[in-house]
Amino acid sequence: MKKIEAYIRAEKLGEVKEALIQLGVQGMTIMEVRGFGRQRGRIEVYQGAEYVLDFVPKMKIEIFVPAEDAPRVVEALSKAAATGRAGDGKIFVLPVEEAVRIQTRERGRAAVSM
């Protein structure tokens, strides 16, 4: 089982969600987060004054999938989130030891199956 964490541009969330639904992903968690990568933030102009936006707003998506589905999910995420510009984000794939669906007590693949 794998946990996929993706940090993407907020404006790409709708496209990413649709791509994941098309794959059969049954659930995801999203969070509004802020951070910076190589671009180290950005400069904004407001009423003629420049200021530095140190932390850029992003969306964090968490998805849990069976290990064999992870490559397809990562590919769909990559395509849907891409703009070709700096700041498109990152995807991380992490191992998950166990999952339990609280309502039914199902474990492992049955708890997160696509």
Q: Dump pLDDT digits (tens) for 70-85.
A: 999 999 999 999 998 8
Our measurement of the distance from residue 44's CA atom to the centroid of its chain's CA atoms, rounded to an integer in Å, reads: 25
What CATH architecture is 2-112?
2-Layer Sandwich (3.30)
Of the two residues 44 and 12, the one the predictor is more confident about is 12
Q: What is the pTM of this model?
A: 0.82
Cβ neighbours, 10 Å, residue 71: 12
Query: 3-class SS at 110?
Result: helix
Q: Dump pLDDT digits (tens) for 15-73.
A: 999 999 999 898 899 999 988 777 666 666 777 787 777 788 899 999 999 999 999 99
